[in-house]
Structure 1
């Protein structure tokens, strides 16, 4: 009699573990990869809005983005503002929440209504925890100048 009641408990524990395992997995926090981002970037002497899309994620410590930037930069002497549009492939290196960010691309600038093409370059620091929507960037480049950027990933 003890043997049958003891084996009944084993079957009950086994059956309940099959039922509970999926429920426990659903309750655990799973990191969602946020592949898009939008940032507001005040710089010296510029202000811009950028939209980025993560295109490739080959390794944990290296990500590839395509970033579009629209903004204005100012001439500190003459107090004139010039609009620009930039398209920049960007690479983000590092694991965890602290990253090195680099990018190089093209900028279409319209000083005095005569469009010109310039280089777009940036090197900076990026803080973004995996799965967290908050983005903080700081660095320097062309055409943004020295910048601090705040944004959201989605």
Structure 2
């Protein structure tokens, strides 16, 4: 039979490990830039959530990403909201906190529940410190339209 001090010790140890392990991992890899990002993009006339992953690269000022986007947008000629999924290779230019980004890919959209394959593109501005986690984006693209994005890099 377990004593109450051992039970309390185990209940305190588990949350402590979940708190300390990420801090230790971040301190060991503080030289490395976050390679993943997740962000929400309310746009005109759309709303989306995206995941992106930085790919291996050799140039310091040009970073390739692959971005997967899921969202809804309002059609230009009707008021019906339509779902879409997009995949977009993207290049992020610059070093420091301020970056330009451009991407081109494809979108699978469902106008009237009949899937269509369209192009996807974006041109925009990105703010993220090289060792920071806060991510801000602004720009124009298709199917997002004009957008502002807020998210985290990890």
Same fold (TM over 0.5): yes
Question: Is residue 31–residue 130 contact of structure 1 (8 Å, CA) maintained in 2?
Answer: no
More strand by share: 1
Task: Provide the C-alpha distance between the structure 2 equivalents of 1:98 and 1:120, rounded to a whole number of angstroms.
Answer: 23
Cα shift readout 1:82-122 (whole Å, capped 9, x = no counterpart):
00000000000001010000000000000001110000000
Match of 2:111 in 1: 111
CA positional deviation for 1:139: 0.2
Q: Aligned runs of 1:45-60 on 2, under 5 Å? A: 45-60=45-60
**TM-score, reference length from structure 1:** 0.78
Structure 1 runs of 4+ off > 2 angstroms? 27-32, 75-79
Which of these two proteins has the greater Rg computed from alpha carbons? 1
Aligned residues: 128
Structure 1, unaligned stretches of length 5 or more?
1-26
Match of 2:38 in 1: 38
Task: Provide the C-alpha distance between the structure 2 equivalents of 1:40 and 1:67, rounded to a whole number of angstroms.
Answer: 13
Q: Kindly tell me: are residues 86 and 29 of structure 1, through their superposed partners in 2, closer, same or farther at Cα, counting changes over 3 Å?
A: closer
Structure 2, unaligned stretches of length 5 or more?
1-26
Task: Provide the C-alpha distance between the structure 2 equivalents of 1:28 and 1:85, rounded to a whole number of angstroms.
Answer: 36
CA RMSD of aligned residues (A): 1.8
